[in-house]
Amino acid sequence: MPIIEASGLSKTYRVYQKKEGLLGALRGLFHREYKEVHAVENVTFTIEPGEIVGFLGPNGAGKTTTLKMLSGLIYPTKGDATVLGHIPWQREDEFRRRFALVMGQKNQLWWDLPAADSFQLHREIYSLPTEQFNQTLGELTELFGVKELTRQPVRELSLGERMKMELIASLLHQPRLLLLDEPTIGLDVVAQVTIQKCLREYNQIRGVTILLTSHYMRDVEALCKRVLVITHGKLVYDGQLTGIAERFGNEKLVKLQFDGSDTPDDLHQYGEVASREGPIATVKVDRNRVADVLAAILERYTVLDVSIHDPPLDQMIAKVFEEGRVEAPLAEDTRITASSER
Amino acid sequence: MDSVRKYFKILRISLVERLVYRADFFLTTFFRFLPLITTFLLWEAIYAGANKDDQADFEIATFTKDKMIAYLLLVQISRMFSSMPGLSTGIAREIRDGNLKKYLLQPIDMLTYLIAFRGAHKIAYIATTALPYALLFLLFHNVFDGFPGPLTLLAYFASLLLAFLIGFFFEACIGIAGFWFMEVTSLMYIINIFTFFVSGQMFPLELLEQYPYVTTVLDYLPFQYLAYFPAMVFLEKKQGVDLLFGLGVEACWAIALFLLSRWMYRLGLKHYSAFGG
């Protein structure tokens, strides 16, 4: 049974248009103009237990709004969603006990008290049996490597350590679903990598389903096999991360190391020359022509080394964003069940 | 029963949080007594207007000087139970900065959580100020005619408990207005000034008896139960029918404000959930 089923989810805001200047403000007392903002439009997708799914999109695309609807913070203008078998915006206790939402940069821990006290508070709020709580806590502090830090006031911890504590707090009640909004924003690379590793391990040990939004491609590449891409409130791609390269990357980067101290001047006939440094040149070649181009170059010049890459994921994603509505791949290849996830 | 235990444990943890600020506590307590001294001196001066011979018996609106001092001391106790510093502004702030979401995401109810938290705060506060207050009352013990009878004491504690509830739900309602109004702080300021007089903190409401209808209206409003009424119960100035009537009105207000706060909260959430935080 799917953990999340969203169908036609839409959220439209009526935003009051403030007019400029004093006259505008006065006029605004009597006659208000509203603009309709379609934050989320007709978003439909399904997530199975055990998946780690990335939610990508530029700022303002509707990612956070969708997460808020799935967690019950706001209710949709249209459409339905079922999360863990409940309708999220009814906010039943049963539902709230089984998921967690963590937003990067927003803390829910007590600022002046040690994290351990906040954890205790969580234990009371979620009515967790002591034995189970202590075991889970031990497991998590071990996993995140923060065992000695729990008795320090939260305000004295570094940003990375605080984020780890937030994540631990969100996992204490053993939620079956973890919603993360920009969890590694503002963190240094080491902290990011540690958190990625912990999330991946936790998903494997406990089978917790994770849906995360992130701007950092490294997070997405490290964790997600499947991504949902949203732009302007619409879902434009729902499929494998690798599929993005196949579908939207119509160029390959061909890196050539020529014999000698320089690269030939006429490489531009094969494609856009991305860089030239000493004997090494990188050329963007249309993916269908790679074989032909390579053959031609190898025939004309002496090449010491060749490598072929996909363009960086961000670039391709950015192109997906720009293009807006694109046909999403069909459903058969998008579902990953827990057993095939390894 | 399980949920009662849950909130009691929250109470216990909140207690710890309050006691962290020990220095804060002691300083606040000390400065709380300062205005009291000014008020005493003021009334000394007022009563000094009487003839030397009558001074002990001279009454202003049925209050001798001694009884006036006793009243002012008792009003401190009432306020200890009914004042809710920062409650309304705290709620309004959580609504504004989005921290309200923790009450939506976790299996917890905001009002129940806050009342447990405030209860803990009160217990911690009473515990730490018990000694200074005891000393103060000892110092002025001769203005009192000893302790009232057990039934009166029971009524007194009941009135204090109800004062706590009225104080809480009243400020909670104002805070919840933060769902619709941005400037709850200003509203709170105006209300505080108004309440200060009308609750009897500055002087016993008997002094307003010269004005027609005022005290009658105030009998039906919740404000006097925050300070004036419990003090009067202890001084045995409210007896029999008056006492029962007062307790009755107090209880009604506690219930009414409780229901109002719940209703406003539900409405506010609906409004909030349309816009998100």
* DSSP three-state, residue A292: helix
The token pair at B188 is 């709170």
Q: Does A286 have pLDDT greater than 90?
A: no
- Tell me if A117 and B13 make a contact (CB, 8 A cut-off): yes
More confident residue, A206 or A29: A206
Whether B157 maps to a domain, the answer reads yes
Task: Decide if B10 and A127 are in contact by the 8 Å CB cutoff.
Answer: no
Phi and psi of A274, rounded to 5°?
-75, -40
Choose from A87, A121, A155, A156 for mutation: most chain B CBs within 10 A: A121
CA–CA dist A29, B1 (Å, integer) = 51
What does each C-alpha distance from A48 to A45, A51, A176, A235 come to in angstroms? 10, 6, 11, 18
Contact A113 B108 (CB under 8 A): no
- B209: nearest Cα among B189, B224, B231: B224
Number of structural domains in chain B:
1
Give the separation between CA B38 and CA A284, rounded to whole angstroms. Answer: 84
Measured at the alpha carbon of residue B223, what is the angle toward residues B219 and B225, in degrees to the nearest 5?
Answer: 70
- pLDDT band, very low/low/confident/very high, at B114 (cuts 50, 70, 90): very high
B46 domain residue, yes or no: yes
Residue A42 has pLDDT above 90, yes or no: yes
Residue B236 counted as domain residue: yes
Residue type, B42: L
CB B105 to CB A112 under 8 A? no
The token duo for A57 is 């999109």
Which residues, 6+ apart, have CB-to-CB distance to B238 below 8 Å? B229, B232, B246
Residues of B in contact with A127 (CB under 8 A): 2, 6
Rounded average pLDDT over A137-154: 91
Q: How far is CA B11 from the centre of its chain?
A: 19
In a domain, residue B274? The reply is no
For residue B159, being part of any structural domain is answered with yes
Strands A280-286 and A4-17: unpaired
A321 in contact with B at a CB cutoff of 8 Å? no
CA max distance for chain B:
71
Suggest the residue from A124, A126, A154 to mutate for an interface test with chain B (most B CBs closer than 10 A).
Answer: A124
Q: Is the pLDDT of residue B88 over 70?
A: yes
Q: Report the pLDDT value the prediction gives residue A342, as an integer from 0 to 100.
A: 38
Distance CA A215, CA A96 (A): 27
B29 domain residue, yes or no = yes
Task: Give tens-digit pLDDT for A161-190.
Answer: 999 999 999 999 999 999 999 888 888 888
| Inter-chain residue contact A101 with B105, CB threshold 8 Å | yes
B107 contacts on A by Cβ (under 8 Å): 93, 96-97, 125-126
Read off the tokens for A4: 């999340």
The answer to whether the pTM exceeds 0.90 is no
- Domain housing B203: 2-269
Residue B277 lies in a domain: no
Read off the pLDDT band of A332 (50, 70, 90).
Answer: very low
